[in-house]
Copies of this chain bind each other. A is one copy, B any other.
Amino acid sequence: MSDRRERLARLDRLMGRLKEHGLRMTPQRAAILRALVMDPNHPSVETLHRRLVADYPNMSLATVYKTMNLLKELGEVRELEFSSRDNRFDGFIPQPHPHLICTRCGRIIDPDVPELKDLIENLVHATGFDVQSHRLDFYGLCPSCLKKD
């Protein structure tokens, strides 16, 4: 269960997924996959690209974007969306609280989540983080959209 072995297995899997979709394994793609798989953190496209140009001086930012989008479409990678595009506001409750968001109609409700307080306490205990805030969004279909199926 060496970390390195795990990462290489993951690399294999990613290469396999691309191949099984008839996509070509180019040197650039191989390098991007390697960089992704070897990254211990949660890199941005920018970060990956910065590292890649060291070895591949004319690696294009567009190529990194395209490859990451492929992986996203294959469900092999999850994008953590930060900051600002078409943002919405909580006008009433500035304190952080969970949201329940309907992916069909866009409705957002503020559910009660009584378990939250304990959950955060446990998290603080287990990790040593000082948790100060959060962003908790649950996605799904609201009752009225469910009826329309």
Contacts and interface: CB of A to CB of B under 8 A. Distances in A.
Contact of A139 (B77, B78, B80, B131): B131
Contacts of A107: 41
A132 B137 CA distance: 11
A138 B123 CA distance: 9
Contact of A37 (B91, B116, B133): B91
Interface string A39-68: 101111111000000000000000000001
Q: Which of A45, A47, A111, A137 has the most CB of B within 10 A?
A: A137
B135 A43 contact: no
Nearest to A110: B42
The 9 closest A-B pairs by CB, nearest first: A128-B143, A131-B140, A78-B90, A83-B85, A42-B88, A133-B139, A36-B91, A135-B137, A132-B140
